[in-house]
Structure 1
Amino acid sequence: MSAHRPQPRVYVALDSARPQRVRELLGELDPSLCGIKIGKEAFTALGPSVVEWARERGFPVFLDLKFHDIPNTVRQACRAARDLEVSLVNVHASGGRRMLEAAREAIEPGPEAPGLIAVTVLTSMEDADLAEVGVSGGAAAQVERLAGLVVEAGLDGVVCSAHEAGAMSRRFGAGSLVVTPGVRPAGSARDDQRRVMTPSEALAAGATSLVIGRPITGAQSPGRVLEDIVASL
């Protein structure tokens, strides 16, 4: 696969609109143990400054904005993300071949380039949810279908459920990125996730990076929970 920045095994999802809370969490987490995933809530409220705060403390940043638009718009958005010096960027594979190729043109492979991955099927969606929006065949089949487009467009990997991680790792080959949200330590609440695994199960299944949010950020001692999770891997 293409060259890109090194990726941590764990990205902590830092979705908060409150600057003080974001700074508190960044201060409690160890950048040698994780990266930071910045999603729509934090980025919409705080803008590029939240990326700078994380990078200043030494965290690799996964800019999780799931770009999905006409090819030229996605191309320009990916260029802007690249210029923020983040470590990982994602788009929606359902945007189609031309959109995926535009994203790849914007972020050319290289050792300082962010990894470029595509979302296949959101981990909050089950077969029945996909059927409601006209997708037949179930989640696993849809993941395979979209992964084929991602491979052909030359992206670095996918975001998928841990349940599809093994198939995606084999599909993309050595050096690919298989990023799995919906990861929950044993005993944690599932919240609105449906297709979930524990961190060690997800890595064993083929994931290369895990996205973990509320089990860490909602804990009384986020840093200690992160340490425990990393020690369990």
Structure 2
Amino acid sequence: MSDPRIIVALDFPNAEYALSLTAKLDPTWCRVKVGKELFTAAGPHLIEKLMGKGFEVFLDLKFHDIPGTVANACRAAVALGVWMINVHALGGRRMLSAAREAVPPDSTKLIAVTLLTSMEQCDLDELGVNGDPHDVVQRLALLTQDCGLDGVVCSPREAAELREVMGPGFCLVTPGVRPADASLDDQKRVSSPRQAIQNGADYLVIGRPITQASDPVSMLRRLNDEIDEVRNSS
């Protein structure tokens, strides 16, 4: 497939685990995500290896710092040749705009995290953030779009309204995607792949249901078939 919709989260403690799994996967069937734990352990060399195997990489480091520091970090990530990077929308307008200026629009995709899918209303209340998760996500998504970024990370449950509000050209990346029969783990605002696509998500970040499956290849195929079924019926 020319534009695989599944991004496999390589949430592993070292490069050996990540490379062992990706050796079984077809890069035309998925992209891969490298987050803080794995990148801290393995660094840019792993990114090079994954891209050498044909995988497009989402570097999920959620940059959140003063504008100049985030801009420089984004430039360094773009220089690695990754497919997508993200920043945290709670960094505010100046930080988001600095990131946009640092990343050429025709190169690496630049998206922003709205609200972590592990967070619930009680977390927002404790932090003193006004509004429920739905309102906060929409506010941050509108800010991100206004700053010219390519899209946001959001819960699949929020994707439907965001798609309606943000329009068809805005990229929605949804973690917290689980097959109907899978454990929720530490995610709170979750959905099935079918529902996420029906809600307007462009890309689904899926980790443990694939990486810890007894047969990751079969699970990936099953999920892709489910996505194709939804897209072909729409």
Normalising by the residue count of structure 2, what TM-score does the alignment of the two structures yield? Answer: 0.94
1:137 aligns with 2:93: no
Inter-partner Cα distance in structure 1 for 2:96 and 2:153: 14
- Matched with 2:223 is 229
- Matching residue's letter, 1:50: L
Correspondences of 1:128-167 after superposition (within 5 Å):
128-167=122-161
Correspondence for 2:177:
183
Partner residue in 1 for 2:118: 124
Q: Where has structure 1 moved over 3 Å in runs of 4 or more?
A: none
- Tell me the secondary structure at the aligned position of residue 23 of structure 2: helix
Partner of residue 44, structure 1: 40
Q: Distance in 1 between matches of 2:44 and 2:14?
A: 14
How does 1:6-17 map onto structure 2 within 5 Å? 8-17=4-13
CA contact (8 A) 2:8 2:32 kept: yes
1:170 & 1:25 partners in 2: Cα distance? Answer: 36
Greater relative contact order: 1 or 2 (C-alpha under 8 angstroms, separation 6 or more)? 1
Q: Distance in 2 between matches of 1:75 and 1:83?
A: 12
Partners of 2:3 and 2:72 in 1: how far apart? Answer: 24
Task: Summarize the Cα distance change of 1:71–1:7 in structure 2 as closer, same or farther, 3 Å threshold.
Answer: farther
Letter in 2 for 1:10: I
- Paired residue for 1:59, among 43, 55, 58? 55
Q: Identify if the C-alpha distance between structure 1 residues 105 and 7 changes in structure 2 by more than 3 Å, giving closer, same or farther.
A: farther
Alpha carbons of structure 1 residues 145 and 173: separation in structure 2 relative to 1, 3 Å = same
Which residues of 2 match residues 69-108 of structure 1 at below 5 A? 69-108=65-104
Any conservation in 1 of the 2:67–2:99 contact (CA below 8 Å)? yes
- Corresponding residue for 2:196? 202
- Contact residue 96 and residue 144 of structure 2 kept, 8 A: yes
TM-score by length of 1: 0.94
Matched residue type, 1:164: E
How many angstroms apart in 2 are the aligned matches of 1:45 and 1:107?
25
What letter matches 1:53 in structure 2? K
**Equivalences, count:** 226
The residue identity in structure 1 corresponding to 2:24 is: E
Q: Which residue number in structure 2 is paired with residue 3 of structure 1?
A: none
Residue identity in the other structure for 2:209: P
**Pair 1:29 & 2:39 matched:** no
Shift of 1:7: 5.4
Alpha-carbon distance between aligned partners in 2 of 1:158 and 1:19, rounded to the nearest angstrom:
27
Query: Once the two structures are superposed, what CA deviation does each residue of 1:15-46 show, in whole Å capped at 9, x if it has no partner?
Result: 11222211111101111110000000100000
Shift of 1:109: 0.7
Kindly indicate whether the alpha-carbon contact (under 8 Å) linking 2:10 and 2:207 is maintained by their aligned counterparts in 1: yes
Contact conserved, 1:7 with 1:87, CA < 8 A, in 2?
Answer: no
RMSD: 1.1
1:109 pairs with one of 105, 109, 114: 105
> Over residues 69-118 of structure 1, what are the superposed CA-to-partner deviations in whole Å (9 max), with x where a residue is unaligned?
000000000001111111111000000000000000010211xx111110
Q: Which runs of 5+ in 2 are unaligned?
A: 228-234
Cα distance per residue 1:124-182 (max 9 Å; x no partner): 00111111111121100101111121011000110000111122222322222100000
Give 3-state SS (helix, strand or coil) of 2:218's partner: helix
Identity of matched residues, %: 53
Whether the 8 Å CA contact 2:179–2:193 is kept in 1: the answer is yes
1:217 aligned residue (206, 211, 218):
211
